Amino acid sequence: MIHVAAKAVLGPLLYAQAVRLRRTALELPEPAGRREGTAGSGELALRLLIAGDSSAVGVGAATQDRALAGLLAKELARRLKGRVRWQLVAVSGARSEDVLRLLMRGRLRRADVGVVIVGVNDITKEVPLQQALRKRGQIVALMRQRCGIRHVLFPALPEIERFPALPQPLAWYAGRQARRNNNAQAAWLAGEQGASHVTMDGVLDPALMADDGFHPAPALYAKVAKRLAHHIKHEVLPRLENSQGAK
């Protein structure tokens, strides 16, 4: 349990760095624009629900069409050669349990696939990992029940230790926590029907981060959108088609 030992030894320094970061960090606004819409033309190819934290919201982009939701919908419409209808339910600072509450209270549209971007705030707010995973399991169940979603994606956390805003050793510690999250999430989802973990290895480029050094800029959101669209087209949709054919 290296993270426990590291926190015991480095605790005062990590706490001081975290407090200073919260006090001095540049606060970027959430993007302007509607949080639902359509991309592409022709027959409806996919209904998409995106939920999560500030990265789901698209902090670091000025408008939703340059943030993750808009870019992902466009990328899917291009790859699927059809129309994609999307809805975004997210708020900055959300932990897994906050996302669950948003989905419980929100007016949700029917959807086929869900994308849940969460985890960073579980780490920064020291939510126990197993508690966070239980909330994510409840998110999956709720999306199925309320929206009819047939598959939910949970992208891995990025390499937080490479965030420009983070000093050492806080960056190192946060990076270890992100890897713990990713390993546990992948293990959980390996045995889960209708849900999957999406690796983000090789996607992060510190040069493509927003001015706050903590969120993606539009070019990095575009890279994430391509990774997710590839997974949806080549991993998720074939499973859904096969399950329909088996009925």
Q: 68-80 and 218-231 are packed helices; what angle lies between their axes, rounded to 10 degrees?
A: 40
Per-residue pLDDT tens for 80-107? 999 999 999 999 999 999 999 999 999 9
Per-residue model confidence (pLDDT) at position 246: 45
pLDDT band at 242 (very low <50, low <70, confident <90, very high): confident
Side-chain half-sphere exposure of 47, counting CA atoms within 13 A? 10
Q: What is the pLDDT of residue 247?
A: 44
Residue 220 and residue 205 in contact, taking contact as beta carbons nearer than 8 Å? yes
Which has the minimum average pLDDT: 2-11, 14-23, 36-45?
2-11
For residue 245, is pLDDT > 80?
no
* pLDDT on residue 6: 53
Identify the residue with better confidence: 2 or 156. 156
Strand partners, 89: 51
Domains in the chain: boundaries:
2-239
pTM of the model: 0.92
44 or 20, higher pLDDT: 44
pLDDT higher than threshold 50 for residue 5: no
CA angle 108–80–159, rounded 5-degree value: 70
Are 49 and 99 in contact, with CB atoms under 8 Å apart? no
Task: Choose among 201, 89, 215: nearest CA to 164.
Answer: 215
* pLDDT at position 16: 85
Q: What is the pLDDT of residues 174-183, one digit of tens each?
A: 999 999 999 9
8 A C-beta contact, residue 223 and residue 177:
no
CA distances to 148, 168, 236 from 77, rounded to whole Å, are: 21, 41, 15
Backbone angles phi, psi at 50, to 5 degrees: -110, 130
Tell me the fold of 2-239: Rossmann fold (3.40.50)
Residue with tokens 């359509």: 38
Beta 44-52 vs 195-198: how paired, if at all? Answer: unpaired
Lowest mean pLDDT segment, chosen from 50-59, 79-88, 200-209, 237-246: 237-246
pLDDT at 244: 65
Q: Residue 2: its pLDDT value, please?
A: 43
